[in-house]
Amino acid sequence: MRRHGTVLAVGISLLALLAAACSDVEEEPEAGGGGTAPDTANVAQCGDETIVLAVNPWIGAKANAAVAQVLMEQQMGCTVELEDPIAEKAQFPAMADGDVDATLEVWPSGHADDYAQFIEEAGTVVDGGLLGITGNIGWFVPSYVVEQNPQYATVDGFKEDADIFATADTGDKGRFLGADTTYSIFD
C-alpha cells in the first residue's frame, strides 16, 4: 500500500502547479532548447514511484487529469499514469487500497458516505482540499417548460402530466435523461 505522504505530496504539488499555471509570471526562455526542463528542486517530491491519478469517465475529469499529468511530468519530472477510466464509485476504495494515488474531481454531494468511511473513520484517504472545480448534483428543466408549467420548478411537480415530456420514442410517457449509472446520482 502506498504511503499517505505520497498522496499528500501529490495533492500539495497539484495545488502548487495549478496556482503556478494560473499566474501571469513569464520567464525568459533558455537559449537553444525550446522545451522546458523539469524543475529539479521539486523532483524529490515525486521520488521514484509512479503517481497514479484517477480519471472519472466524463470529459472534464479527463481534461483535468491530462493537464495535471503534463504539468507533473514536464515541470516536476514525475512519472504519471492515468487510471482511465475509473468508475466514480470505485475511486475511494482504489485510493484506500493504494491502487490510485489521487483523484482531481470528487463531487462531495455524491460521496458523503465515502468521505465518512475512508477519510474520517479509516483515515486511508486524505482530503487534499479544493482545486477550484465545484459540481452539484441536480435536475435541470428548460425554462420555457417552467414558465408554462410552474409546478415543474420542483421535483414534486413531476408526479402528474408526464406527457409534457413526450417524444416520438416514448409516446405519452415522457422521457427522463439521467446520468450514467456509474456516476453519483440521486435519481
Provide the pLDDT for residue 42: 52
Provide the pLDDT for residue 91: 94
The answer to whether the Cα torsion of 142, 143, 146, 147 is positive or negative is: negative
Claim to verify: residue 94 and residue 143 sit in the same structural domain: no
- DSSP annotation of 30: P
Which of 65, 88, 121 represents a domain boundary (last residue)? 121
Look-up of cell digits 494560473: 22
How many structural domains does the chain have?
2
Looking at the domain assignment, is residue 115 inside a domain? Answer: yes
Residue 167 φ then ψ, to 5°? -135, 170
Task: Assess contact for 55 and 85: CB atoms under 8 A.
Answer: yes
Render the burial of 142-165: b for 16+ CB within 10 Å, e for the rest. eeeeeeeeeebeeeeebeeeeeeb
Claim to verify: residue 148 and residue 66 sit in the same structural domain: no
Provide the pLDDT for residue 38: 54
d(CA 11, CA 23): 19
pLDDT by 10s per residue, the chain, length 187: 454 544 444 444 544 444 444 444 444 444 444 455 555 555 556 788 999 999 998 898 999 999 999 999 999 999 999 999 998 889 999 999 999 999 998 887 788 999 999 999 999 999 998 887 777 777 788 899 899 989 988 878 877 777 777 788 888 777 777 777 777 777 6
- Rounded to 10°, the helix 59-76/4-21 angle is 90
Q: How far apart, in Å, are the Cα atoms of 76 and each of 29, 64, 81?
A: 17, 17, 14
Claim to verify: residue 33 and residue 98 sit in the same structural domain: yes
Looking at the domain assignment, is residue 127 inside a domain? Answer: no
Q: Which of 187, 184, 186 is nearest to 92 (CA)?
A: 184
Alpha helices in 34-154 (DSSP H): 40-46, 59-76, 91-97, 112-114, 143-148
d(CA 146, CA 49): 53
Looking at the domain assignment, is residue 148 inside a domain? Answer: yes
Provide the pLDDT for residue 26: 46
In terms of Cβ atoms closer than 10 Å to its own Cβ (0-12, 13-18, 19+), residue 22 is exposed
Provide the pLDDT for residue 99: 97
* Domain range for 175: 137-187
Looking at the domain assignment, is residue 126 inside a domain? Answer: no
State the Cα torsion 12-78-55-19 to the nearest 10°. 40
For the entire predicted model, the pTM comes to 0.63
Claim to verify: residue 61 and residue 25 sit in the same structural domain: yes
Looking at the domain assignment, is residue 129 inside a domain? Answer: no
